[in-house]
Structure 1
Amino acid sequence: MNTNQIIIITAISVGAMLVSAVLYLLKRAKRRMPENFDLMEGHEFEYYCAELLKKCGFQDVEVTRGSGDYGIDVLAEKDGVTYAIQCKCYSAPVGVKAVQEAYAGRDYYDRMVGAVLTNQYFTQPAVEAARKLRILLWDRGYLESMAEEERSF
């Protein structure tokens, strides 16, 4: 083997290592990039939330059928507690109606806890209704923290 061949083989090897390193860094960066919740369509958001719940330790996670679901989009269980979850992908704060749907759906599905999970925040009347009806409110901050927790595994 002559010097030119050694230089070419070395250059190819270094190039391959650089490509591998760049691909690794891109994959790692993609894992850390937050999902753009605001651009998701309603059903896409429901399935995303269901997958996120699974990755965060919820079991028996099930997306309900689209119509006639009594306001509940996801059923799940964690640590022996059963949940009925209403998912809302909105462009404005979530109001009382979502809380009422979670309240009705919790009883319809005979679940211990009702919750509303959203990419936004809640209106003050929604917060007050949730407190009175004992519905959990999981806002954008909570959703982002769940997504970050899932990424850290």
Structure 2
Amino acid sequence: MEGYEFEGFLKSVFERLGYSVIHTPLSGDQGADLILSGNKGRIAVQAKRYSSKVSNKAVQEVVASKALYKCTEGLVVTNNYFTNSAIELAEANGIGLIDREKLKKMIIKSYS
């Protein structure tokens, strides 16, 4: 599965969970791959399909995209895990992190 396919898969998972989802352009997305709309407002999502841990760069990208897309929250979703620096930066900026364990639970919930 390529990165853009992972984004499409996440789009369908979030839709099954009740969100309205906009898939941003494949290039020039300014740090957000998906924009979710739901009861909690708009959420900027950065999707990372990586073979290694996700660094704080992904967190920086979604922090920057929140204002551009007028989102109240930011989220980074990966099929892997996060580095300690990514976790620290996310906590400092109120960004949610979904690693592979949380993602598995989210997928199961979306099909329940």
Q: For this structure pair, what is the TM-score category when the shorter chain's length is used for normalisation?
A: over 0.9
Contact preservation (8 Å) 2:16, 2:111: no
- 1:122 counterpart SS class: coil
| TM-score between the two structures when normalised by the length of structure 2 | 0.96
Partner of 2:11: 50
Partner of 1:9: none
Task: State the number of aligned residues.
Answer: 112
Contact preservation (8 Å) 2:44, 2:75: yes
Give, in angstroms, the shift of residue 72 of structure 1.
0.5
Measured on the aligned residues, the alpha-carbon RMSD in Å equals 0.9
Alpha-carbon distance between aligned partners in 1 of 2:27 and 2:38, rounded to the nearest angstrom: 25
Q: Deviations over 1:123-143 (max 9, x none)?
A: 000000001111111111111
Partner of 2:101: 141
User: Which residue, out of 63, 71, 76, partners 1:111?
Assistant: 71
Partner of 1:30: none
Runs of 4+, deviation exceeding 6 Å: none
Runs of at least 5 residues in structure 2 that lack an aligned partner in the other structure: none
Partner of 1:150: 110
Runs of at least 5 residues in structure 1 that lack an aligned partner in the other structure: 1-39
Alpha-carbon distance between aligned partners in 1 of 2:96 and 2:40, rounded to the nearest angstrom: 17
- 1:102 counterpart SS class: helix
Q: Which has the higher strand share?
A: 2
Contact preservation (8 Å) 2:30, 2:65: yes
Give, in angstroms, the shift of residue 146 of structure 1.
1.1
- 2:42 counterpart SS class: strand
Q: Which has the higher helix share?
A: 1
Give, in angstroms, the shift of residue 80 of structure 1.
3.8
Q: Which gives a bigger RCO, structure 1 or 2 (Cα 8 Å, sep 6+)?
A: 2
Partner of 1:77: 37
Q: Deviations over 1:47-97 (max 9, x none)?
A: 0001000001112x0110011111110001121421000000000110000
- 1:146 counterpart SS class: helix
User: Which residue, out of 87, 105, 119, partners 2:47?
Assistant: 87
| TM-score between the two structures when normalised by the length of structure 1 | 0.71
